[in-house]
Each structure stands twice: as structure tokens, then as C-alpha cells.
Structure 1
Amino acid sequence: MPGPGLVTRAGALLAVAEPAGAEELLTLVQRIAADGGDGSDLVRRVAELFPAGELSCAVAGPTADGDLAVLVCGHATAEVDGRHEQVRLTGPGPAARVVAGPVTAVQLRLPEAGAPHPLARLDAGVVGAAGLSVRFGAAPQPPDEAPKPFQAVLLVPGFAPPLAPAEPVADTEVLVEGVDCKNGHFNDPALRYCQRCGIAMHQLTLVSRLGPRPPLGVLLLDNGMTLRADADYVVGRDPGRDPDVAAGRARPLRIADSYGGISRRHLRVKLSGWTVRVVDLGSANGTYVQGPGADEAPRVPAGGAVEVRPGAKIIFGRRWLRYESHRNP
């Protein structure tokens, strides 16, 4: 990512830093890479080196368990796509996190970083740049195909032919009715623009089909933890007791509460089609949803479901979750 800064790669270790004062960090990365390249060691040593976040930097490296250790200081930012979650770390820090692997993508950047160039690569060494973007295990992109002739079709509401038998869907995937943009990305029929490539959808004639539902965004917990909105979550002090969690139909999100405001099974974040809803599970102190930009947070009726729009907060006890998504029907 172009910009005023320094980017280094030593083995599997990655680092981005502002130029002033970066020499000691770059030397440390090289030394740890020569000793085996343990990401946990890198994160610990950088935190000791800049205990007050004096240098704007971000570092990342694999651990012995196959996870990824990440740390940010100052004005740097790190974003990681892990096995169960999307993590975003910001300073001033030092803020560190170990993200469960396998990790599919990492982005480390300074505030001035520009867009990544698809042809730029760094096998090793140090270059002048303000950020880096890495995708692991990505297959090479096929060459552009010749444009296909225009074929007019009608959008028939409710018509969704099943997937072909040659394309089996895993039991954990949820099938929803959606449409493809002209680049083949599966989308919510209500979207005006493709959620992946940004191409206009409202000017196309589209036909709906059934397909695996992509993640609908992320859930950001008040402590900075980020969870991918690709399945239901049961939230509470002891969500493992929920029958749907035990049956694998929902994931548990255990929330510590020292004030007694959260029930054992407090609420459920439920994905219904392309919509995110919250259901109060009969909690003692209630669940509240504050819409984006709203001053008030109405209570969710016990057992009732309330739609959660992108930017809205789900408040329970003294804790909250915020639903974030680029989807904007």
C-alpha cells in the first residue's frame, strides 16, 4: 500500500511502521525471524519495546499452534480474517490479539496508506510503503474472458431453481434466495450495488436462485472483539446450556458480567434470510435495540424478534453488541 512508511517481511513475519524510529523495530523483526520466526515472541518483544505506543506500527506472525499473533501501536490498524472471526485492532495500544487459524487474510496499515496495487509483492526485505495486504491460499485469478453477448431475462419474484447436484452444499451452509451481479457475485435481491465488487445492481435484469448465504457483516462487542455474522449466536453468561447451541444450530457467546445484569441465556442474534434479528430469551433485565443515530433504545419483547439494521446497538445489562455491515438495501 503506497504511502509514507516502511513495510518489511522476514520469513513469515510482517511489519509496518512510520519511518521515524523504525530502525529498532526492523532489526527486531529480522532477529526473531532468524531465531525461528515465532509471532507470539514478536508481539511480546514489540510491546516491551514500545510500552506506551510511541511508534505507530503493526506487526503480525504465526504462532507455534498455527494461529496468528497481531499487535498495533500508535495510529496503526490491523485487520485479520480468522477461522471464526474478523478482528480489527487500533492503537494507541499496544493492542495485541492471537487470532485462531487458519487465517485467510491480513491487512496492516498506517493512516496514510493508499489502495494496494494488485501487481506489487514483497518476498522479503524492506520497502517504502504505508501498509500491506496479504491473502493466504488464494488461487490465481483467471485471465479476463471475452465479454458475453447480452441476454435479456426477467426477474420472476419467488422463482429460485435449486442448485445443480454437481455443486453440493455443506450441511452448515444456509441456502437463501438471491441474485448474481454481472461478475457472478451472489447478493441480496434488495441491494442496489453488489456487496463485493460494488457494481450497480438496479440497472440489471436479474433472475433469482438459491445459493449459500454469505456473511451478513460482523458483530462488534464493546471490548473490541469482532465476530462474523454468518450464523446464529446465543449470548449470555452460560449460553452452552441452550439446546440450539448443544445441537450445533447456534454458536455460544459467553459474556462475563460482574453486575448481575446478564442472564445465563440472555438473547439470540438470529439470521433469517438476509436479515439480522435479535430475540430476547426471557432475560431478567431485558434486551434493547438502539437504531443507528437514535437516542432511544426500545426494549425487545420477551420471545419477540426485532430487526437489527447496520449500525444498530444491541444492549444487554451493561454490555452491548453493534451490528456492522456494508450491506445497505
Structure 2
Amino acid sequence: MQPLDKILRNQLERAVKNARDTAEKGAHAALGQLGVADPAAAAHLSDTDRELRRRLRAHGRQLGDSLNGGKVQSMDRLVEEVAYEHWHRMLFARFLAENNLLMYPDPDDPVAITLEECEDLAADEGAANGWELAARYAAQMLPQIFRLDSPVFQLNLPPEHQQALEQLVSGLPQETFIASDSLGWVYQFWQANNKERINKSEVKIGARELPAVTQLFTEPYMVSFLLDNSLGAWWAARKLTEDDLKNAQSEEELRQKAAIPGVPLDYLRFVKVPSPHAGEGEGEVWTPASGTFDAWPENLADLKTLDPCCGKRYIPSFNPTPHMLQW
């Protein structure tokens, strides 16, 4: 799997930013239709809508929306959650489908299903269209991410907003969903405008602002550089022979000798140092610039690591260890 190229990444950024704006407008309109912020339910609401309104108000307070003097309830956090959940459930459905991982939930024989097949099955399964059915299947597969019992998913966005979101996710090229770093970028782009707004406001950063302003945009080459000059350097020090390090004409020659399929080590750096046999007439030899990590285990299977990024998860996704273990 390759990382997103710049053109696809820019397209994904535009789509996600537009999706947040569209989804939040739709969420605000849908919540307003139920009068979720109002102190009392409107007389025209059905019993079902009244119950959904009650659950949404309770959920909003759990998220941190305030009840102002027992009257009007704020909806900022609830709007954000409704928008986030509805958009990402569809987006994750396409990620799963494009990787042949979206499953038809047959208890005896679950099988992979395409978005086109979801469209064909929608009416029989009681869904408005294929996207609704695909999103439902995705939520069933990812219950830790999308809670099936959440009142958020009982709320329907207005048709014009729902259709706009469907067009945004449909308009993304297939290559976007099979790249190695797409999911990481999705959340970064979702927070991008909010991050910019908060930074420009110069407000004191509290718990509400922290998730947005601490998002870091990590380029794939940065991660490759870190890995190539840690695991890669450890690997090269054990794969390259003394003759390789002595006689190589360039860093590139050494990178090619140390590389294995799936791990090109493009960013691994070497430097020349005095030979340990300098007193015996030897000159300089090459060595990995970041060191040879002699304190690390000799057996790669014994190596244990802790990803300090804790959230972006780029280090594990780029991890060359499985390829090295095969050698």
C-alpha cells in the first residue's frame, strides 16, 4: 500500500472540509426540526419524535451541552457529534467496501458486499438507498466506533444535506481508500478549519479546544525517515558485510544492498568514519549515520517498541518489521 499522493490528498481535504460544513448544517436543521434546544416539546411532535427529542437532549448534556437556566439547551457538542457520526459512518462504509471488507451480516455465511449490491438490496432491507444500508452494515462491523443504540443514528439529516454528503463520498477516487495513510488524514482534515479558527481567535486553550489545536500533519516521508534511521539502521548494520561498508562507492549503493522487497530504505543515511582497523593501514568505512543500535536484540522477533505518537498511528502502519522477519 502506498501513501496518498498530493493530488489525491488535496481532493480528500476539500471533500472532508466540505463534508463537515454540510453535515453540521444538516445536523443543526434536523435537531431544530425536533426542537431539541427548546425548553418544551412542540405540540405537533409525535410520540416517537418526542422520545427521540428527549434522548437527544439527554445525550447532548452527557456530551457537555449546557441547560441554560432550565430553559434553552445549547447544542454545539450535539451538532458536532451528529455531523461527525453520520459522515464518518458513510466514509468508513466506503473504506470497507473498497477493501472488500464490507460484509453482508449473514449469521451463517457472511460475505463481502459491494456498494452496488447494497443499492440493489436497500429496498428489501428497509433502507432508503444503498448508502444507508452500507452505513448500517459498517456500523454493525464497528460497534466500538459507531454505537448502534445511539439516538444520533435515529436522527435523519434533511435530504438535501444527506444527498450532498453522499455525493462527496461517492466523488472520491477508489485510490483514496486503498492508500496506507488515508484514514489518518481524514481526522486531520475534519479538524483543520476548527484548528485554524481557534488559533486565530487566540483564546485560552481548554479541554474543548485541545483536540483540534493539537492535530499534527505528519508527512509520510517524516515517518519513513524515522523508521529507516532506526529499524533500518539496525537492519543494515546486521545485513551489510565489512566488505560492503569498506568498498561501497556511495550511500545509494549501500541502501540498495540493505533494502528488501517492501522496505526500500530510501531515507537511510550513512557517513564515513575512521576504520576500527585504522592502525593497520585501513582508511575510512561507512556506517549508519544514526548508529548501529548495538544494545537492541540480535533477534528481531525479540524487539519490543512503543509508538510515542499515540494517536496518529503512522509508525505501526509504516512498520517494516513484518518484511524483515521474512528475511
Structure with the largest fraction of strand: 1
Q: TM-score, normalised by structure 2?
A: 0.23
Tell me: higher relative CO, structure 1 or 2? Use CA pairs within 8 A at least 6 residues apart: 2
Greater Cα radius of gyration, structure 1 or 2: 2
Q: TM-score, normalised by structure 1?
A: 0.23
Structure with the largest fraction of helix: 2
